[in-house]
Each structure stands twice: as structure tokens, then as C-alpha cells.
Structure 1
Amino acid sequence: MSGLDMKRANPDEFSPPNYDEEPLTTSVDWTKEEEGRAKRKLDLLLMPLLVLGFFCLQLDRGNIANAITDNFMKDVGINQNQFNVGQQMLSLGIVLFEIPSNMILYRVGPGKWLTLQLFLFGTVSTFQAFQKGYGAFIATRFLLGITESGFIPGGLWTLSTWYTRKETAKRVMVFYFGNQFGSASSKLIAYGILHMRGVAGRSGWFWLFFIMGLFTIVSGMVLGFLLPDSFKNPHSTFLPKYSYFNERELHILRARVLLDDPMKGKKKKRIGRAGFKKAFLNWRLWVHFLISLANNGPQRAFDTYSPTIINSFGFASLSANALASVGLFLQIPTSYAFSFVSDHFNKRGPTVMAGFSCHLLGYIFNRIFTELKGRRGVKYFGVIITQTFGTFSHPLNIAWMSLACEDSEERALAMTMAIMGGNIAGIYGAQIFRQDDKPKYRRAFSINIAILVVGLCLACSRYIDDLFRRRRASKQVRSGSASDSQYEEKTDAALPSDVQPAPVVLAGGATPLVSKTVP
């Protein structure tokens, strides 16, 4: 069919590979049952390892919020505004070194680089226990940002190489469960570890950093033994001669990905200038970038100070850490429900807008409840709502953003833009809750409400744009179907019987899942 490309025009579908992105000839020579077994084996190996890595990252990144309730600032010798600068340095380190980290990932492979990253930020997290003074605090936060900078995009890139495009969206959300579970668990773990204050003459926050850092280093060893690198090198870092997949499984897993996106068979040394120009001139990608910027700033700020805010309601200091985990645990099934609706019903825009709306409602509750006298249970309810709906709009936005891309180059750059948007948000978000605004934080909650209103308006504008694109695609399909059917009748009638298409039959009489060849 000539004219408008339907898959590019339809926001519910991924764009097909361009004509110059099909360098391989690959056909289906396996059964549905074989593919299912290979994919389950991949899921059971790869997904727990990536979730474990993200879990460790969030433990090491978020432990600082729990340390505040254990006199961390007083012991180190900093005030709240200086603490906020340290949080900015964490985000700055991530933003500055994210692209160089991705370049290293591309050269050495995800198996080696993600394993090394866990060792690096686990080591920095461990030595945070010995910090003293403003300079040491700034340095350790910046180093932690540098060492963590490539793990999230590295994990996302790993998923994109082992799974088809439609499968990747669901596994991205599972990957982010490591973040959510880490955020929630860190509060409960901290509640226990912070009671170690006085052991060996050390503070509770000392043991929090030390124990969690060592746990991350041990987890790095687990990835070193189990995480496969790629289809070309399906071995782990510490076991370079052992493969967890046999040749048949590797063939199925690799071929199915290439059938979905043949460009994944090409390893390009760099993305050309045309690719950068195409991505950075796509206004839709910038809207998604701003959506990530709007969602993550308030969420990062609130996550840091949620135990402190709960403590200000009249709850005991260490109990506030445990109470701060409740909304984060509720976020896990809630985000799963939203991701199921997003994927199963192709409701990308509506789920992002709904998530934003509920997130916004949480800050409205907090702003109102700060004026109540007593009623600590009501105030705590506002915290629960904010935490439950605070994070998952970001990965849902990433999945929605990928549908606005026309090819694999643009999709790779869009992924980088979204992750950088989330981390840049941490730079401005670190200064929202300031010392002169405590303990009610009226100004902070008002700022968060304004930011989320802007983000919600941006999401609504993209959804309206998708509605118009969907209508144009539907009209094009209806107008093109008649001309296509007339063309097929003429060509089929003209074909002699000996060149009519024949059914594909596999060896042994097996029935293939899909009959498809990429030229």
C-alpha cells in the first residue's frame, strides 16, 4: 500500500524496521512450545538478577533518607540545606556520567559492566559509613551518583536485546519492581538496623550504610556468576566457558528477537548525525522528557523526606521509617495493575494520566492536612496516597514514549532522554524541601502541586495528539483496504498455479508459531 505508513501513524503499534535496517535472513523453524520453554528459562535467569541489582541500587541510594531520623545530619556536621546540596550532587553525578557509562557498557557488554557497577557503588555505599563533615558528605554522594549512573539504562538495554519490543514493556515494569521493592524494604530494614546504635560504639546509620553496602557487593558476585552477557557471548563474567543455554535455545531466543526487529542484528559503532537530528527534532519525545521531569522531581524529594515528615506528625523516630514503607509496598500491586491495563488494553496515555492525577491528589491532601491540629492518622493517610502513586508513571511514560519512535536508533536515544529526564529531576527536586519550610512544608507541597499540574497537562496534550493520529490511521486503513483488495485479486488471478504461495511445514511436521522471513 502506498502513502502513509499505518504502523508509524498508529500510536498503538511499534513502527516496522526501515528498509535499510534488514540485513539478515531469518525464518521460524521452531514450535510454540519450544519458544515458550526457552523464554521461561530466560525469564527465570535474567529477570531476578536485574531486579536484584535495581533493589541494591535503591537500597544504597535511599538509605540516606532513613539515616536522617537517626541524627545523621548532627553526627556528620551538616544542616538540611547542605544535605540537599549533597542530594543534588548524587543526581548530577548520574547525569554527567550516564552517557560515558553507556559507552563503556556498549564496549564491554552488560554482563561485565553491570557486575562491576554493583561492586563499585556497593563499595562507595559501604565507605559512606565513615564520612565526617560537609566535604566528605558531598564527595561520597557525588561518587555514588557516578558509580550508579549506568545501571538503570544498562538494565533497560539488556532487556531490549533479549526480548521482543512488545515483551520488553512488561519486563521494564518488572525491572522497576526492584526499585519499588527496594524503596519499601529499605524502610523496614532500616528500622531494624538503626536499633544497633551503640554496637561497637557506632551510630545506627553507620551500620545501615556498612551492612547494606556489603550486601550490594555480595549481590555483585551473584551477577558475576549468573548474568549472561549477550547472544554472541552467552556466558557470565566469572564463568566465561559455561553457558546457561544450549545451542537450540540460543538460536530460538536470538532469531525471535531479530524477526521482531532485524536492526538488533547490526551492532553499529555509533548513531549517526541523522539519527540524533531525527530524535531531537521529534517534539513528542521532548513532551515525554518533560513528563518524566515533572513526575520525578516531586517524587524524589518526597521519598527523601517521608520518614522525617511522618516523624513530625508525632510518631517515634525509628518507627517513622517502618511507617514510611507502607505506601511503598502498596505501590507494587498498584503499579502492576496499571501496567497490566497499559499493556493488555493498549492504554498508554490514560494510565500515565491516571497515575499523575492520583500522585497530584496525594500532594493536595498533604497540603490540606498540614493545617490540621493533631489528627496524625489523617496526615499519615496523605503520605500513603502520595507514596502509592508516586513512582510508576515514569516507567509507564517510557513505554508510551517508545511508541512515538520510528526506528531503533530513535528509540535508543529516546530511552536515554527519559532516564536523563528522571535524573535531572533529582537535581531540582533536592531543593524543594528546605529547612526554613519545616515542619509543615507548606511551600514544598504547593510547589509539587504546581509541577504535577504542568506534567498532567503535558500528558493530556500527548493523549489528544494520539487520538488524532489514531483517527488518521483508521481512515487510511479504510481507504487503502479497497485498493489493496482490488490489487490482490488482479495479481492472484494472473499467477499460474505453479507459483502460488505454499504453506510452510517444518521438519517432522511441526507447526510453526509464525511463518515469517525477513529479507
Structure 2
Amino acid sequence: MADSQEVYTDPDRFPAPLEEEEAVVTIPVDWTEAEEKAAKRKLDFTIMPLMTLGFFCLQLFVDRGNISNSLTDNFLKDVGITQNQFNVGQQMLSLGIVLFEIPSNMILYRVGPGKWLTLQLFLFGTVATFQAFQHSYGAFIATRLLLGITESGFIPGGLWTLSTWYTRQETAKRVMFFYFGNQFGQASSKLLAYGILHMRGVGGKSGWFWLFVLMGAFTVLSGVILGLFLPDSFKSPTSTFLPKRRVFSERELHILRSRVLRDDPMKGKKKKHIGRPAFKRAFTNWRLWIHFFISFANNGPQRGFDTYSPTMVNSFGFPPLTSNALASVGFYLQIPVSFAFSYVSDHFNRRGETVMAGFTCHLLGYVFNRIFTEVNKRGVRYFGVVWTQCFGTFSHPLNIAWMSLACRDSEERALAMTMAIMGGNIAGIYGAQIFRSEDRPRYRRAFSVGIAVLSVGLLLAAVRYVDDRIRRRRAAKSVETSSTVSNEEKGAVTPPHQQNDDDGSRYGDRNEKSGLA
């Protein structure tokens, strides 16, 4: 039998602050709705473009975009490495991220997001630029590991930054917009590479040399932009490079800060560290581990597929550089598709359903590709690549939004976000070895492995969905029982339409119609 907290938990809403949190601050609403909308609009046009730009650079220029595009320009031959050695380098990238994820976020928590995220753009932009000068296996391994170290913590740091400026309900929408930077970066990297790789021979250099130099320099420039305009926090609402220039007026800051504290008072109590009880709550919450493994299952096959999608298209018979442009189509299509999924997830509170639907479509992509390996029509095989790209990424941020609803307080939620991101990055370690040289060019084994892994992830998502349905029914039944007892204490007669409704379905139906289910 579930305890009382379990029974009253509503899986469709963020939990209310704990009693000790509610006592932290009591803030009256002394502003108008128009003032709040104006302040929030200004916040959106300040924070969101900058955070999305950072994620755009991370995906487009640094993480996986450039390196996968370079493969069609003789990168492996020029550097002197094999495909399997290349996979080891990709593992080093993921390893660097995983090892330094938590230390990076500890630094961000102490110095503030404005300073740390700006510095990170400078650091991984610099390392990305110097990738252009590698000409050995050792140099390749070193630059990939350094890249993982310097970019570690950027994504959970961005998520944490959004959570400090927005209420819990608003954060879910902004997380999806934040991930649009990732998706747009994936798509744009291949299209830009098509043009830049034609510079092979300029200055006696390869095309991939100019790819790393130009895009690395753009990342450093983006660091300057964040340093000029990204406000640090409510207590220090100025940018790193312009400490005397305030982005928001005192009135706007009061409104923005007060509304966040009314939603979650714990955001007004900055701790030097998260206490041991919070770690215990998070790491003993089996639901969070389910979400961890959902990300783990989704991101592994997707990482390997994204890396080799341009070379797959090339193997269908398309010209090498044209393959980069063609490999961008699925990612561009992913943007409106993921927006539609996120809208349904957030507007109708269909968290589990959208994650399972996205997972199913991702799984179908691997089924298509495995079947199409036996087909010699390049248009059919190209369709499999486009489909997989279209549905391959966005289940991860949808899962993160769903995961946050399984948390019982703000500290547990912060740890859960780190768990989800680490699950995705750990997946990159095994995902880098799915597509191996002895399996190319059709990658029959790789697609079979992807089908198996994604099937497990879909099963886990289904388990969590059933769990949420059970919790919803128990919560409705508990509310009904509490209401009946209250009426009996007052000497009231239970209305006939509320009698013999033990399964709680009437309350479930009402919740679904109101958008809560």
C-alpha cells in the first residue's frame, strides 16, 4: 500500500513546496497582469536567445556536428586514423563530459551562470578551433577529451539557469525552446559544411581545417555576446563584461523575482551545497532511475547515427559534399515536429504519451533502416535516414520535462536534471561503438543493436506511463475519500452521483477534460 505522500501525489503537476519551504517567504502580488506580461516578455527576449545561441554553438561547431561533417572530406585519411579509432575519440568526448559534469555545475553554482557559461564558450570554442591542427591519433584523442571537459556541464547549467528565472510550469516550455538550439545546430552544421568544405585547397589547407577554424572562431565570438548581455542572477542582474549596466529595472526585477519565489520559495535560499538527504531522496527514487535509463537508451543509438549519417548518405551514391547538405533535411524537419510534440506534451499534460510516441517513431526509423539495407534504391534508403533524424532527438528533452514531475522538491529536481543529462552523455560512450568499420556500409548489425536498445527504452517509458495512471487513480480516490469523510463529519449526505465510484474514474475523466491528465 502506498504511503500518504504517494497517494496524494499528482503526476501531472509539480509538487507544492514543502512546509519548511513555504515558511521561507510570503510575498504579496503588488503588480498588474500587464506588468508581469511585459517583464516576462523582456526576460524571454533576453535570456532565451542567448541560452539557445550557446546550445547552438555547442551542437553546431563543437560537439558532434563538425566532426561528422569532416568525415566526407577525407578527415580520417588526413589525420591518419581508422574509423574504430575515431569511435574511441568520440568515447573520450563523452567520458570528459561525464567526469566533469558535476564539478562544472558546482563551479557554476558558486560563480554564477553569467560568468561560467561565458567562460565555457570561450574554452570549448578555443579547443574546437585548434582541432584544425591535429594530424595524429594522439592529438585527436587529446582534443576530443579536452572538448568534453570544457563543454561539460553546459547543458545542465543552462537548464539550471532557466529554472532560476522562470516558474516551474514555465520552465518546461523554455527547456524545449532551449533544445531547439540543439536541433537547429544539428541541421545547420551539415548545410554550412556543404559550403565550407568546398574551401579545400584554400591556403593549401583541407576543407575540414577551415570548418574547424571558422566555426570555432564563431563560438568564441558568441562567448563575447554572452559576456555582454547575459545577466547573472536576480542578486547580480548584470552581465560579465558590463557590470554597471542593468538589463532590467528595479520594478521588473521585483516582479520577476517575486513570482518565482511565490512558485518555489526554495529558490530564494541559496545553499553552498545540496545536502545528503536530497541525494538520498533522489538516488532512492526509482522513478528517476527509470527516466535516467530512458535517456540512456534513446541517446546511445542516436549519437552514433548522427555521427555517420553524412557518410551513410554518401554510400547511397550521392557526391561526398552533397551528402552533408542532404543529411541536414531530417534535422530541419525535426524542428516543427518536435515543436508539435512539445506543445501537446505541455499544453495537454501528455508527458508520457508524447515520450512513448517519439520513442516509437525513433524505433521505427531503425526498423526502416534495417529493412532498407537490403534495398538498392538510394531514394528509399535516404528516406530511412531522414525519418530517423526527424524523430531521433526530441524524446530526450520531453523525458526531462516528464522527469521533473516525479521530483518531490527543488533539490531533488536539480539532481534529477543532472542525472538525465549524465544518462544521455554516458550513452554516448557505448553509442560511439555501435557503428563500426567492419559493419559498413550497410550497418546491419548497428541497426539491429539500435532496435534492441530502443525497444528497452520504450518498455521503460510504458512502465512509467502505467505507474502515472495508477498514481492518478489513487490520488483521485484519496481525494474522494477525504471529501466523503469531511461531509460525514459535517453531517452531510453524500450526493448519489458520488456514491459507488470506488475506481475514481470520474475524477480521472474530469482531470483529462481539464488538461490535467
Q: TM-score range by the shorter chain?
A: over 0.9
Instruction: Identify the match of residue 345 of structure 1 among 344, 348, 354.
Output: 348
Rounded Cα–Cα distance in structure 2 between residues aligned with 1:12 and 1:218: 41
Q: Is the 8 A contact 2:110 2:272 kept in 1?
A: no
Deviation at 1:483, TM superposition (A): 4.0
* Contact in 1 for aligned 2:7/2:471 (Cα 8 Å): no
Alpha-carbon distance in 2 for matches of 1:299, 1:184: 14
Give 1:482 shift: 3.7
Of the three residues 222, 228, 231, the one matched with 1:228 is 231
Q: 1:171 Cα deviation (Å)?
A: 0.3
> Which of 465, 468, 472 is the equivalent residue of 2:470?
468
Q: 1:111 to 1:486 in 2, by over 3 A?
A: farther
Match of 1:165 in 2: 168
Deviation string 1:104-124 (CA, Å, 9 cap, x unpaired) is 001100000000000000000
Indicate the residue corresponding to 1:13 in structure 2. Answer: 13
1:203 to 187, 202, 206: 206
Give 1:478 shift: 1.5
For 2:351 and 2:428, the matched residues in 1 are separated by 24
1:58-457 mapped onto 2 (5 Å cutoff):
58-59=59-60, 60-61=62-63, 62-373=65-376, 375-457=377-459
Distance 1:183 1:488 in 2: 62
Aligned equivalents of 1:132, 1:20: Cα separation in 2: 58
Q: CA deviation at 1:481?
A: 2.4
CA distance in 2, matches of 1:214, 1:299: 27
> Which residue of 1 is the match for residue 497 of structure 2?
none
Pick closer, same or farther for the CA change 1:489–1:176 going to 2, 3 Å.
farther
Structure 1 unaligned blocks of 5 or more: 491-519
Secondary structure at the aligned position of 1:236 is classed as: coil
* Superposition deviation, residue 274 in structure 1: 1.1
Q: 1:489 and 1:124, CA in 2 relative to 1: closer, same or farther beyond 3 A?
A: farther
- Specify the alignment match of 2:500 in structure 1: none
Deviations 1:440-487 (A, max 9, x none): 000000000000000000000000000100000111111222444677
Relative distance call for 1:450 and 1:372 in structure 2 (3 A) is same
Higher relative CO (Cα under 8 Å, sequence separation at least 6) belongs to 1
Query: Matched residues in 1 for 2:451 and 2:326: separation?
Result: 23
**TM, length-normalised to structure 2:** 0.93
CA distance in 2, matches of 1:393, 1:48: 22
Distance 1:123 1:263 in 2: 37
Alpha carbon RMSD of aligned pairs, Å? 1.3
Contact kept? 1:119, 1:216, Cα under 8 Å: yes
2:137 and 2:20 mapped to 1: Cα distance? 54
Alpha-carbon contact 1:6-1:476 (below 8 Å) kept: no
Q: Cα gap change, 1:439/1:39 in structure 2, threshold over 3 Å: closer, same or farther?
A: same
* Aligned equivalent of 2:483, options 461, 481, 484: 481
State the alpha-carbon separation in 2 of the partners of residues 44 and 146 from structure 1. Answer: 30
CA contact (8 A) 2:167 2:260 kept: yes
> 1:356-397, CA deviations, whole angstroms, 9 ceiling, x for partnerless residues?
000000000000001112x10000000011000000000000
Distance 2:481 2:204 in 1: 79
CA distance in structure 2 between the partners assigned to 1:288 and 1:337 by the alignment: 22
Contact kept, 8 Å, 2:435 with 2:446, in 1: the verdict is yes
SS of the equivalent of 1:400 reads helix
Q: Partners of 1:8 and 1:74 in 2: how far apart?
A: 61
Equivalence for 1:29: 30
Q: Secondary structure of 2:4's match?
A: coil
Are 2:53 and 1:42 aligned?
A: no
- Give 1:460's aligned amino acid: A
Shift of 1:273: 1.3
| Percentage of identical aligned residues | 75
Contact 2:8 2:474 in 1 (8 A): no
TM value normalised by structure 1: 0.92
CA contact (8 A) 1:26 1:255 kept: yes
CA offsets, 1:319-367, max 9 Å, x none?
A: 0000000000000000000000000111000000000000000000000
Deviation at 1:26, TM superposition (A): 1.2
Question: 1:4 — aligned with what?
Answer: 4
Residue 4 (structure 1) shift: 3.4
CA distance in 2, matches of 1:6, 1:215: 49
Q: Specify the code of the residue in structure 2 equivalent to 1:25.
A: T
**Equivalents in 2 of 1:364, 1:325: separation in Å?**
21
Q: Deviation at 1:246?
A: 0.4
Q: Which secondary structure state, in structure 2, belongs to the residue aligned with residue 239 of structure 1?
A: coil
C-alpha deviation, 1:488, in angstroms: 8.7
Measured against aligned partners, the alpha-carbon deviations of 1:179-234 in whole angstroms (never above 9, x if no partner) come to: 00000000000000000000000000000000000000001000000000000000
Q: Which amino acid aligns with 2:460?
A: L
- The CA distance in 1 between the partners of 2:210 and 2:196, in whole Å, is 7
Matched residue, 2:495: none
CA drift of 1:29 comes to: 0.8
**What secondary structure, in the 3-state scheme, does the structure 2 residue paired with 1:404 have?**
coil
Alignment partners' CA distance in 2, 1:167 and 1:458: 27
- Residue 8 of structure 1 deviates from its aligned partner by 5.2
1:498 aligned residue: none
Summarize the Cα distance change of 1:277–1:238 in structure 2 as closer, same or farther, 3 Å threshold: same
Which residue is 1:54 aligned to? Answer: 55
Residue equivalent to 2:510: none
Match of 2:460 in 1: 458
Describe the superposition over 1:236-282 as per-residue Cα deviations: whole angstroms up to 9, x where unpaired.
00000111100000000000000000000000111111111111111
SS in 2 for 1:15: coil
